[in-house]
Amino acid sequence: MLEAAVRAAAALWDAAEPAGSRTAPLARVDRLQVVRRVVPGETFLVETTDEAGDGDGDERTRSFSARGTVSGETAMRARFRLRR
CATH code, 12: 3.10.129.10
Separation CA 16–CA 33 (nearest Å): 27
Tell me the pLDDT band of 66, cut-offs 50, 70 and 90: very high
14 lies in which domain range?
2-83
- C-beta atoms surrounding 2 within 10 Å: 16
DSSP one-letter string for 26-66: EEEEEEEEE-S---TTPPEEEEEEE-TTS--S-TTEEEEEE
Q: Using one digit for the tens of pLDDT, what is the confidence trace for 5-64?
A: 999 999 999 888 766 556 789 999 999 999 999 999 999 999 999 997 655 666 789 999
Do residues 43 and 51 lie in contact, with contact meaning Cβ atoms separated by under 8 Å? no
- Total domain count, the chain: 1
Model pTM score: 0.86
Determine the 3-state secondary structure of 75 from DSSP.
Answer: strand
